[in-house]
Every structure is written in C-alpha cells, then in structure tokens.
Chain A
Amino acid sequence: MSFYKPSFRHPEAPSNELGLTAKAYEGGISTLCAGCGHDSISASIIQAVWGLNIEPHRVAKMSGIGCSSKSPNYFLGKAHGFNSVHGRMPSVTTGANVANRDLMYIGVSGDGDTASIGMGQFSHVIRRNLNMMYVVENNGCYGLTKGQDSATADEGSKNKKGRANPFEAIDLVALALDLGATFVARSFSGDKEQLVPLMKAAMSHKGFALIDIVSPCVTFNNHAGSTKSYDHTREHIQAASVVDFVPMAQEITLDQIKGSTQKVDLHNGDSVQLSKLSDNYDPTDRHNAIRTLLDHKAQDKLMTGLIYVEPESDNFHEMLNLPKTPLNELKEDVLCPGASTLSSINDSFR
C-alpha cells in the first residue's frame, strides 16, 4: 500500500474535449495491496471516462462491500459514490438509476459480492437490463477476510495453503449470457489495451453491461496452482476479438491483427470495431457466444473480449415508461394532485 501520491503532472498531458486532463478523473490514494489488479482497473476506468468526455460529477460510483467495493474511492473523486451493503449494490443502483436516468452508473463489485451473497441481486439487475456498467473485479477469493475461496474459484485451483477447491466455479459470463444480459465482456486487469475500449463500449451501451475482469489478488491468490494468478491468466488468456471503441463520426483506424473485422453499432451512434480471431465468431449471436465460451473452457482457455452485445434492447427506463426528465427533478406541481382532486376521490369512497 502506498501512502503518498505524487502531485507532479506532465505539463503536456493531453486534455479531452472538456479540456480536462486525466488528473481531473483521479480519486483518493489507494489502500489496496501493491500490485493489486483492482488498482489497474481503477486506472482503466479513469482513462475510459476521460476518453468518453464525461464530466466526472455526472458519474455515480456504486459498490457493495469488499476490496473491490472500496476501490470507487480511488477514482473519480468528483463523483458521488455509494459504498452500500455486501452483495446489494445492484438494488441501490437500481433505485438510484430510476431516480435519475441522466447520470452514468458504474457499479464495482467483486466475486464474493456478486457470485455469493449478491447472486440474487446480480441476476435480477440483469433481467431488468438496467443501464449501467457492472464491473466484477474477480480474483477468486475473499481478500478483506484473508483469502477464503469464493464461488468463482475454479475447481482444483489451490488456495494459499495448498488445498484444492472441490467445488465447481460459477462462471459469471456464462450466467449473464443465460440470463439475457445485453452486453457481456471479459477481460484481465493486466490488459489495459483491451480493457479501456471495452469499458468505453460498456458505458456507451444503453442497457446492462457486464465486464467480468480477472484481477489477481497478489496477497492471497497469486501463487502456483491458483487459476486466478497473473501467470496462469496470462498463459491461458485468449481474446476472442481485439476491440476498439469508435465514437460516432470518427474514422475507424483499428489495426487488424488477423481474421476479419466486424463493426457493431451501438444505440447512441457510437460503434465497436472488432478484429476477430475467427470468422465464425459473431458477438451479436447469443447462441454462438455461449457455444464459443464453452469451447474455450473445454480447451482450458480464458475467453476474453466482447463476448456478446445486443445493441438495440429496451432498458429499464423504457420498460417502466419513464419520462425524459429524471424523476428526481419533477416538481411538486407535477407530483401532487392537489385538494380539489382529493374531494372527488373522497366521493369514490362513499
């Protein structure tokens, strides 16, 4: 853990369209362990929000409890944050989101917070297609309580004491696909080049966007035998596609590596440009995505990248037929029917 944050910034640091440098998007100093994957994810969030030209105070940072849930304190210091109850970030975010549809909601959770205590709320926020980016900082263990296995720990993965986990792992990506999530991605905290465009696309998606990010716990789950270590993840990672996020009206300049490209237009006019490893892979085909995910798993590969996206779908605001004006801005004259209406209501009770 660091205890000092240097204030020096390069004088020629680039500004975004709002005239802000990335510094305006930073938060408090992290108290996580040195080398924690979560800090890399915070850095990616800073880059992505900066790159999307979103004013920091128009973001709401939502979290539950755990190491991951502490991390919203370490980015976007000018945004409001809500460190809520273990496993219950989705419900608080749902209420907040319904109250004000105009903010950008970033939920940060962990594998314990999502796949165990928060499994119910995770499932139901997906069903509601709530307009948010849901980041899981997935390290396969409980960090704050010192290294117990979590529900995403792979079967056979060894904990720090050398004991192999006997239980089947919950794959959040497979689950989200099955539950009808409209944007599903997986990444690795150590792959910022993949992560930043994925986050930009997730935040531009008008609906629920999951990014399950393997984020090694350097203290409790980074040893040989663990399947969530840096080494193991690097050895087994396989990007299904190389992703670039393309804002509306910007020229596409993605360097293809091999295979074919596919452009997926998002609802707001932005698009995601993919360089695919295989011609057969179509991230707008849910069946195909599930099959490809299972194929990777069978080959002991960790499939990353944008796995599935459904650009046009009704999100929760549309399901509820909410007005364009956020509910929290409606004034008393709209909300209160008044005394004369009440007298006719009284008549209905006679």
Chain B
Amino acid sequence: MSPINKPVLLDEVVNDFVVKFANVNGSGSASANSMFAKAIFRMGIPVSPRNIFPSNIQGAPTWYEVRVSEKGYLGRRGGQVELMVSINPQSMTQDVEEVCPGGYFFYDNTYPLDFNLIRDDIHYIGLPLTQITNSNFSNPRLQQLFKNIIYVGSLAYLIGIEFSALESIVSDTFAKKPKLIQPNVDALQLGFDEAKKAFSTPLPLQLKRSNKNDGKVLLEGNAACGLGAVYGGATVCAWYPITPSTSVAEGFEKYAKQLRVDPETGENNFAIIQAEDELSAIGMVIGSNWNGARSFTATSGPGVSLMQEFLGLAYFAEVPAVLIDVQRTGPSTGMPTRTQQSDILISAYASHGDTKQILLFPATPKECFELTADAFDIADRLQTPVIMLTDLDLGMNEHICDDLVWDENRSYDRGKVMSAEDLINTKEKWGRYLDVDGDGIPYRTIPGTHAEKGAYFNRGTSRDEFAVYTEKGADYQRNMERLEVKWATAPKHLPKPIITERDAANKIGIIHFGTSLEATHEAIDELSVAGHTANDLRVLAFPFHEEIEAFIEQHDQIFIVEQNRDAQLKMLIVNELEIAPKSLKSILHYNGDPISARRIVAGVTAHLDTLSVGKKDASASVA
C-alpha cells in the first residue's frame, strides 16, 4: 500500500487551511463536527463551518467543510482541501479526489483501503477507529457516537486543537446531564492518545491560539431570526415545515419558551401554529396582523410560491406581515438542501395584479437578528408584507459575527394605528384608505377598538378612501396611485445599502447582497493584489435607495454578484432603475455550493481580460 512516489510535504501553515469531514448522515457526526469548529472558535481563530447535507434522514453521504482563516475570510474558499476526514466508505472515491497535492486523507484503517483509492501525491493517515471504539464500548449506539468524538480527539493531536477548548465545550453541552461529561472527555482523550501513539509528529497544518473572536459570537442565521422575532415582539408564528427554514420556527419556539412564558401563570405569551400548508400559514399571519398582533412565517421557495395569492391580498388590503424566506435551490427533493439566492423576483413582484413587495437581505446572523426585529416595525409602519430573503448557507450554518446588540432606548414602531381616543378626537372624518399625511400611508384601526367608529369591511380592492364598496375605475386607479406614493416613502424606513469605498478613483464597482458578502470582500482583496482595485456596495433592501444608482454611475465597470442563474437582482435593478442591461456584468454562481472568492475573482478577471483583449484588437484593426 505504499505509493511509489513520495508525496510532497506541505510547508507548515498556521490557521489557514480547509478540513472536510465525510460522514454518513444520521450517525451523530453533526454534533462532533460542530464541537470541532467551536473549539477553533474558542481558540480565537476565525472559522467558518458549512454543512453539505442530503435530503435524507439516515445513511446517505453528508459533508462538513471547515475553513480556518487567520485573516478572517469566512466565505467558502473552494477548491481542494488540505485535510479530508473520511468516515464514510460510500463517498471515499470522491473524497480522495478532493484532497490537494501534499494534503492528508485521514481514514479508518480497521479495514484495508481499496487500492483504487491510492493517490501517490497525498498522505494517508490511518487510525483503526472502529477497532478502538469497539474495544472500548460495548453498546452499538455508543460505539457509533463515540467514534465521532474519538476522531475529534485524534484531530486535536494532529492539528493542535487545545484540549481544554474541547473539554469546555463538552462541559457546556452536557451542563444538564453532567454524567455524560466524563465519558465524552475520556473518548476525546482516547482519540488523542491513539493518534499520538500512531504518529510521532503532528501535521504541518496547525492551529495556534489567536485573538480574533473577542466580541464575536458563532451561531446559525435561522436561530438569530427566531430570536429577532422574539425581540421584535412577534406573538404569533404560523409555519409549515420545509428545509431550510424549519429551524427559524424552532429558534422562535426555543427562545419564546425561555423568555415569554408568564412566570406566575405558566401561560405562553406567544402562539406557535404548525399549519396544514404554507397557504394556511400566511393566512394566519395576515389574520393575526390584521387583528393587531405581530405575526410572522418562515418558509422557502415552494412556500413563497404557494403564498402568492395571500401576499397580493395583504399588499392591496394593506395588512402588515413578516415572511422569512430561507432560499434554496429549485423544486423537488435532493438539491433543495443546497443554498441559492433565487427567489428575488418571485418575492419582489409576488402575486397577481400590480404588486411590489418590500425585501430585506441580511448577510450575517447579526443582521438576521436585527432585520427580523426591524421587519415588524417596517411592516407595521408601511402596512404591507415584508419579505426577508436569507438562504440555506446563512440559515443552517454557524457563522461568526459581532455580538448581537439591542438598543435599550428603541421602542416598537406600531405605525399609524387609531386608538379609541384617536377616533373620538379626530376632527376630520376617518377613512381607512385616506392619505392624510401625503406619504401614501393611511391610518388603520384594530377590530373591536370602538363601538361606533373605526369598523370597516377589509377587502383587496373595490373600495374608496372610506372603505365603502365601489367598482368605479377612477376610485381603483386613485388607490393604486396612493400605493405608489407609499412605495416611494418606503426606502426612508428601510436599511440603506452599505458602500465600502476603498478609493473614490476606483473604476470597478461590485454590487452584492446577502451571503456573497464574505466571498466578495475576500475577492476584492485578491483583485487589488493583482492591480484591480474595486469598491463595493451591498444591497440590504428593496425598493432601492438612490445610493445604488449613484454607485452605478460612479464606476466604469459594475459587477453584480449573485447566487442564481438568471441574474435576478440585476433584472430588478435594470427594471426599477432603468439602467442599461449591458452596462452591468453578472457574476453568477448556482451549483448549490455557497459562492467562493475564487469564483468572483475568476469572473471579474475574465471580463477585464476580454476588455483589454478587445481594446488591443480594436487598436490592431485601426492600425
């Protein structure tokens, strides 16, 4: 089994490599892998773990890719990995291929490796994991679970994870089941000792304590959304299970149970309703918000498709609603457990009739938390649905971000709601759809407010400013024009784009949104090394602020980075800002993996090369 050629030895690298775990799903590997990433986080080293998982419960291949980057690059790096931890024989052929030359393939050598899996340019590190586990644990379930912990212990020796960091995670994890702490620590130690016994020196891939994670947290975007909904005052969560959004509702439930149960009565100051489908979920959300309780749903693309009719009703009837869409790839089962940003257009123009919907684009768990809370204020203020577009990468992977912050001085903006006193004191006749303030936003009433005043029959169209039934075309048109005024008011209440202007003279401008953030910033660093300096603008909301148009005008070359095939944000910009389509160059990524800096650099460079080639050709032909 010894290869003919000796593979090259990698130079020692500290805090800058990628480790990938190949596991069988349903085997309990997720918690062990998460412990691995968290230990690196606790060592103060920037780390970004990502799950690549199947639409399956047990037995299919699943991967966990962990990037370590002292420089703080948290996007997916892409390319081959330095260390493959191969626990799944099913996917070994593919996993061997993914190791970079000189890299390491860590595997269970209880059974011999297939000769076909031998490459002569990589290192093989075999440990008899199955044998070690079976001889130390008799219970088959424990054998499976501890095998995962054992390989984490071995990695601690091989790449230098501080043992105390792992121990602290075990203690925290089993704080409520202290009996489990020692067996887990013992398993870690077992793995550590066995690796030390087998290999005299650790690998050249090493982790060294750093200080990059002070004031930072590591969490999943979906949990942050759930927590944001608790802080934002949501009392009703109506949802239907769908990957990758399910953990938003679960996050809301977790924190609501901690923070919203009345300590005296034990009653829930919240309601979580698992609906029969997404149509029903959004219907409930609209019913609650109409009745004055903040309510939201979480779903993914298929759910947004089903919710179209109701989203139109809410737009026309001017009922607040908050919808969190955790985006994934298109229809069916399988690929939909992979990430994508492909619901932009279906959300922006959701429903029949002339409709336009408010969109928010968070990029980090911190923004998931903040924008979810903000979404309730925005929806109440503008009396319309707010759709927050996150994605699977953000929602279901742990990301490092700054500490979550809540401004003690902020208070909920419930928008223009008439109380009983307001209805009594108002001098003018109140009209549900009357534009009193010139901002297109009318005053609403909550059912049951006053015995004589404020009641109206809520419907999509066919009413005048006073909610009196009418089928007159002029009344309909006037209402549609007021909704346009409201639309123009909207950006004032929405988060502005974030512009990073490295140099006002830069000719290249890159526009991106959501989870392309980390990869884009890393790509800009790389491009500047190659002499292509660029500024960037991150879109946070739709309708667009005027800064976006100004940014496009300021730069000669505009690139729009998107994780979809059809350049959906570009289409929206072209359509809404009347920008010439050819002036915007798309960098598109849509194979289900999170976008990498390499992909963006390649896209920008290729285009710049064609420009310079084009110029040369032109000058040649002139000559």
Contact = CB atoms under 8 A, between A and B. Distances in A.
Given A60-B291, A321-B267, A346 B450 contact: no
Interface stretch (A94-102, A160-168, A283-291, A304-312): A94-102
B290 to A, nearest CB: 6
Contacts of A93: 287
A277 interface: no
A298 interface: no
A323 to B, nearest CB: 4
Given A55-B451, A91-B280, A332 B218 contact: no
Contact of A121 (B219, B276, B403, B469): B276
A341 B217 CA distance: 15
Given A60-B447, A120-B280, A321-B267, A328 B404 contact: no
Given A95-B236, A120-B280, A78 B451 contact: yes
Interface residues of B, number: 72
Contacts of A97: 287
Interface stretch (B133-141, B452-460, B497-505, B596-604): B452-460
A99 B295 contact: yes
B283 A350 contact: no
A88 B279 contact: yes
Interface stretch (A5-13, A79-87, A226-234, A240-248): A79-87
B309 interface: yes
Given A88-B279, A92-B284, A92-B287, A332 B412 contact: yes
B286 A330 contact: no
A91 B447 contact: no
Contacts, number: 211
B180 interface: no
A203 to B, nearest CB: 16
Contacts of A28: 469
A121 B291 contact: no
Interface string B271-299: 11101110111111111111111010000
Given A57-B448, A91-B280, A346 B217 contact: yes
A328 B275 CA distance: 20
B404 A350 contact: no
Interface in B239-296: 255, 259-260, 262, 265-273, 275-277, 279-293, 295
Contact of B313 (A84, A324, A328, A330): A84
B567 interface: no
Given A96-B290, A124-B280, A327-B293, A80 B235 contact: no
A97 B460 CA distance: 21
Nearest to B401: A349
A176 to B, nearest CB: 16
A330 B290 contact: no
A88 B236 contact: no
Contact of A345 (B213, B218, B404): B404
A103 B458 contact: no
A73 interface: yes
Given A91-B280, A95-B238, A342-B405, A83 B288 contact: no
A103 B411 CA distance: 27
A336 B231 contact: yes
A335 interface: yes
A1 interface: no
A57 B284 CA distance: 21
B166 to A, nearest CB: 15
A337 interface: yes
B446 interface: yes
A78 B451 CA distance: 7
A66 interface: no
Nearest to B462: A83
A103 B455 CA distance: 14
Given A85-B313, A92-B287, A99 B405 contact: no
B41 interface: yes
A51 interface: no
B276 A82 contact: no
Contact of A99 (B275, B288, B456): B288
Given A85-B283, A323-B267, A98 B288 contact: yes
Interface residues of A, number: 59
Contacts of A100: 291-293, 447-448
A319 to B, nearest CB: 10
B405 A327 contact: no
A323 B269 contact: yes
B406 A342 contact: yes
A92 B314 CA distance: 11
A94 B295 CA distance: 12
B406 A338 contact: yes
A73 B457 contact: yes
A196 B459 CA distance: 28
A334 interface: yes
B310 interface: yes
B408 interface: yes
Contacts of A91: 238, 275, 279-284, 287
A322 B267 contact: yes
Nearest to B445: A80
Contact of B448 (A103, A121, A330, A343): A103
A95 B286 contact: yes
Contacts of B450: 57
Given A85-B309, A95-B283, A346 B403 contact: yes
A58 B290 CA distance: 15
B316 to A, nearest CB: 11
A349 B233 contact: no
Nearest to B220: A349
Interface in A44-74: 55-58, 60-61, 72-73
What 8 A-B pairs come out closest when comparing CB atoms?
A: A95-B287, A91-B283, A99-B293, A95-B284, A80-B447, A349-B217, A92-B287, A328-B292
27 contacts: A57-B448, A57-B452, A73-B457, A78-B455, A81-B458, A82-B290, A82-B458, A84-B283, A88-B310, A90-B283, A94-B283, A95-B236, A95-B284, A95-B289, A97-B287, A98-B236, A98-B288, A99-B292, A100-B292, A103-B291, A121-B283, A320-B272, A322-B267, A332-B233, A334-B260, A349-B218, A350-B216
Interface of B: 41-42, 213, 216-219, 227, 230-231, 233, 235-236, 238, 255, 259-260, 262, 265-273, 275-277, 279-293, 295, 309-310, 313, 403-408, 411-412, 445-452, 455-460, 469
